[in-house]
Structure 1
Amino acid sequence: MTGFHPKTDFLFNVQNTFAHGSGRLDVVQVFGLILLVVAPVVILSALWYYRRFLWFLLVRSFTRLVFFRRQGVIENYLVSRGVVVEVILLEEGRLGRQLCYARIESVFGGRMELQVVKADPTRLDLKGRRVICFVKQFSLSGKKFNSFVTYVRDFERKGTVLKGVHLLTPMRYRFTIRRKHVRKKINRPDVVRVKVWDIAKRRNFTSRRPDIYTVSDPSRYQGRPFLTVGNISPGGIRLFVHNPAKRLPLLAINEPLVMRVSIKDPATRQFFFVTVIGTIRSRNSKEKGVLGLGIQFTSQGESMGDGSGRIQWKRVVDGVPALERFLAKFSK
């Protein structure tokens, strides 16, 4: 009998503990307090993370309501002309990697459908990514336009090959100056030399004769194609093609070319050169028999260093750093 009472007291205490349900009440209260604190933080974090996209949707709704007529005229022009756009990722407000060239097929219900013409391989998840699209400059009511900023609504991809892109219609269409560097008018043939190859020769161009190049005495090349330089910057070059012929590489907008640019150092009198891929951004006829090309440097070639002579191409965004450092000498 002496051991019976302690056991009875212990069981009585256990029974009382579970009978009142105080433990369950404490858990509900704690959980409620956590929700009161955590939920606002999560909501505020989500709003901050998507602030740019939410602002885009808000302003887009307003601008399309107020300027729907002008927006509609621009979009009809882009669709009816089958305008090709260059789609580039925006990363922290700066130009990132190029995604593709695509033709605008339709604009309906706030969505812009693009047919991909040419694309770089990518495994990126593009949905919801911010992009800038460049088009060939056009004018409307005295205003110039050549770009717009928007978001990727959806995309189609097979493996790493981009097949289709759907964009949200933008807040507005605008004119963007793409040139980020001051071009230097270094156009003497004894100071700057340029050789150009068709992009198809990029793997073995070093062992091939250039398709067209600058010459020291243009008077000896009457009737034959040759190049002269208008100006140059770390981001691009202005070239003039004299006596263009059919045998030359395709000299159309958005076509890439392999280029070797050599510039004489004013101090050492030695030539410094860079190998680049340049993409034609503008094209016009300066005079009869002369074609002007505005070319942006999009990739830089570097030797692989294994003795094979092969070139490795690396994309450049804000110009060629080595060329920028070298051109600074001409400012001194």
Structure 2
Amino acid sequence: MSNLETRPDEIDCRPAVERTAPRTDGAVAVEVLTARDVPLGGPRAMTVHRTLPQRRRSLIGAWCFADHYGPDDVSATGGMDVPPHPHTGLQTVSWLFSGEIEHRDTMGNHAMVRPGELNLMTAGHGIAHTEVSTPDTTILHGVQLWVALPESAADTKRDFAHHIPPVVERAGVEVRVFLGDLLGERSPVHTFTPLLGAELRLRPGAQIDLPIRPEHEHGVLVDAGVIRIVNSVAEPLAPTELGYVGLGAATLRLRNDSEVEARAVLLGGEPLDEEIIMWWNFIGRSHDDIVAFRRQWSDHSDRFGQVEGYAGDTQHLPAPALPTSRLSPRHNVPGQA
């Protein structure tokens, strides 16, 4: 998905986030991140709830962008119709709960994003794509996630992957592991840093112990219901909230404290010990990188190519104006669980 904001925020995250002291009572420390609502598009804009990035935290592992949207009645919002737009230095991760989205890109891929199916696109050196909700879609609901590529892979070639993860069942809980490994299930989809991505569904009152890697940081993004991280002193997480757990935790004990089915997306990964510049749909390492990417997109450079088959009026989404000041880097300082 594109960031369709006409004036994208510049978030200076260089000041270190204070590390929390390790707890001595067996509990894990949880930092609750609240989403901000961002309208995408025109007067019938679809609103997304953005939890990453923000001033309090830029990254969870290499996860650098998290938009949650819906459930949206497309008759009221107009659905999703994102014209050809560019990306560099990242991977896009599309995951739906309901509805269907048509994807086209400059590699010639024409694919459908459906509930329970992972679509991952690697931008690397540069790519352009479109995303359009299909005519049969009535309710659109899902998450759009970005992964920052490490500097060693930031210029890698374009790629696209599709995967339907099996359901791992525990008492009252269903888990779909779309990236990384959890509960004995491993996704075959390649990432450039160690990552975890999984959808969790918990029946009312259900509880599960998830073995996680202490050397990774994690986030629990709640979509529906109320989820409590039992081995913490934090308040239960409500829909659109993200509970961040820093390094050192070996187990996440989650419980559905609501009377409806709860759903969440678990994100995790090895801390990305690099500074990045993220502006609009680009990730680079310097202000000058972003200036060059924007100019090349505006000049219809071969870096991004041309998307074929998009039926909309706008065949080349204009880039916003750059801010008058130089863009500042973001650096992740992991917390301690």
Range class of TM-score, shorter chain:
under 0.3
Q: Which has the higher helix share?
A: 1
Larger gyration radius, structure 1 or structure 2: 1
TM-score normalised by L of structure 2? 0.23
> Which has the higher relative contact order, 1 or 2, with Cα contacts under 8 A spaced 6 or more apart?
2
